[in-house]
Copies of this chain bind each other. A is one copy, B any other.
Amino acid sequence: MNGAESLVRTLVASDVDTCFANPGTSEMHFVAALDRTEGMRSILVLFEGVATGAADGYWRMAERPASTLLHLGPGLANGLSNIHNARKACSGMVNIVGEHATWHLEFDAPLTSDIEGLARPLSDWVRTSRGAQAIGQDAVDAVAAARGAQIATLILPGDTAWNDGGIIGRGCETDTDAAVDPDAVDAATRALASGEQAMIILGGRSISGEALDLAGQIAGKTGARVATQFFSARTQRGAGRVPALRIPYNVDAALTALKDYREIITVETGEPISFFAYPDKPSQMKHPEAQVTQLCPRGVHGLGALRALASAVGAKPDDAVRQERSESLLPTGALNPTTIAQILAVLIPENGIVVDESVTTGRESFPVTAGALPHDWLQNMGGSIGYGMPVATGAAIACPDRKVISLSGDGSAMYMIQTLWTQARESLDVTSIIFANRSYKILQQEFAGVGAGEPGAKANAMLSIDNPALDFVAMSRGMGVPAVRVTNCEELIEALSRRLEESGPGLIEVML
């Protein structure tokens, strides 16, 4: 067995059975090993950012890592921006990066680069395999890191892949119990009993399932408020779930929302920080006198800590206030952020997954969709646009029985538009909704926000993408995904309703 085969077999044995791949010559032995190994699903993508974004989406929904297969330093480089987003989301993944054979490196061939150097700034775990015999154990260590919500990058020189002597690695055990810090539970208990207004800010895997409900029970018992950051990796919401206040993006609005809270308890997240820096505005958005207590750090599942805290304060299931189902009416007429949100509130299917990169258009949709059927809502944690369509792809692979709705602005959709082809190839049940405002509208708002005044002609040219107009219907069909364009509420309702009755991929271009 060569090194490449030992790698594939070790990954499968370690429950990593999905690989988002764009291979090249240096990865051919890994590709060949796929033929000899049962149990690894390999999914071809046309650009590496699609692979890493899909691995992010896969982790968020499956709660276990996928792997990626990337072609040397430049292949890794193309995947880095979505690795950045995944890392900020605390999504674990195993990146396999091919490398020239060790004896070829000194000659500085065209594709030679410092792969470890490129990997390190955005990886938590980096290793270059030292030989075919070592790869199995390297893979076990990489998977262990990834299961711990880390970015693991394993670099595989060609000769270590094709040489014989591979040994399947075993024994990748991860403590799936969430670690609990008793001092943190005590501190949070005291904070909730202090008499000050308290906020429990949830992040990571704590805005889901039992953890979210426990937070709601604690809040109901103590009078605290459950909240989330403006962006969260995965929020379970809708009818029957504990609703959480979403801290605003706008700094002034966030300062107002937070001004009365003197005790802040964080679970899998930090204190509220402004997304960007602005002249004369603070980075920290809490009240200056607010105390912050970290119940559970990022990357550690908050469930155990929330169980302990609920027990400490004596919270019971009946203490939680849960969201009522709101029976909204479908709007008619012009499409705008509000009517779009009203349509989503009615049409999001039960157990649907919404991947939100709608930027400006979707900014106001959260309150309107609060009483929709229960669903999961995924957001961009790293701020690098181009995350949405790849994450939707990975979510669909992880959850083949659930419907995925992918919301993108037109500017952000163009970053990884190649994703549509993989959705078609794999017949994924993803509906991409593109909001075509034909501008970087967020930037038009930010221009004033940073005190740059009013954009002139040259500046405006950098903020508009209306010339020429992008035709997403044509592009989508060109990649094998059926598509329609809608211009009013009636058309969007009809198109989305029809889509949700079908399976497989589709795209709706929403003209604004």
Interface residues of A (CB under 8 A from B): 21, 23-26, 28-29, 31-32, 34-36, 42, 44, 46-47, 49, 72-75, 77-78, 80-81, 84-85, 88, 100-101, 103-104, 107-111, 113-114, 117-118, 120-122, 158-159, 162, 231, 270, 273-277, 279, 283-284, 380-384, 386, 411, 414-415, 417-418, 421, 424-425, 442-443, 446-447, 449-453, 455-459, 461-463, 465, 467-475, 477-480
Contacts and interface: CB of A to CB of B under 8 A. Distances in A.
Given A383-B74, A411-B46, A468-B479, A162 B275 contact: no
A411 B28 CA distance: 17
A332 B117 CA distance: 51
A42 B461 CA distance: 9
Given A74-B84, A77-B81, A478 B467 contact: no
A163 to B, nearest CB: 9
Contact of A80 (B80, B461, B467, B479): B80
A28 B451 CA distance: 9
A44 B453 CA distance: 20
A162 B111 contact: no
B35 A456 contact: yes
Given A36-B456, A78-B78, A425-B468, 9 more contacts: A28-B443, A72-B383, A73-B84, A78-B81, A100-B276, A158-B277, A162-B279, A162-B452, A470-B479
Integer count of this chain's copies in the complex:
2
Given A32-B447, A158-B277, A450-B28, A283 B462 contact: no
Contacts of A88: 110
B100 A277 contact: yes
17 contacts: A31-B463, A32-B453, A35-B456, A35-B459, A47-B415, A74-B383, A75-B384, A78-B386, A104-B274, A109-B273, A110-B275, A110-B383, A162-B279, A424-B468, A470-B478, A474-B477, A478-B478
Nearest to A99: B277
A6 B450 CA distance: 18
A280 to B, nearest CB: 10
Given A446-B25, A452-B31, A477-B474, A46 B415 contact: yes
Nearest to A285: B107
A382 B110 CA distance: 4
Given A24-B443, A458-B34, A277 B468 contact: no
Contacts of A77: 77, 80-81, 84, 122, 384
Contacts of A451: 162
Contacts of A42: 458, 461-462
A103 B277 contact: yes
A182 to B, nearest CB: 26
B469 A277 contact: no
A117 B126 CA distance: 15
A467 B425 contact: yes
A111 B25 contact: no
A35 B458 contact: yes
Which 6 A-B residue pairings sit nearest by Cβ, starting from the closest? A468-B480, A74-B384, A35-B456, A474-B478, A104-B277, A101-B277
A274 B463 CA distance: 44
A363 to B, nearest CB: 15
B452 A32 contact: yes
A49 B118 CA distance: 16
A280 B475 CA distance: 45
A31 B447 contact: yes
Contacts of A449: 25
A315 B2 CA distance: 55
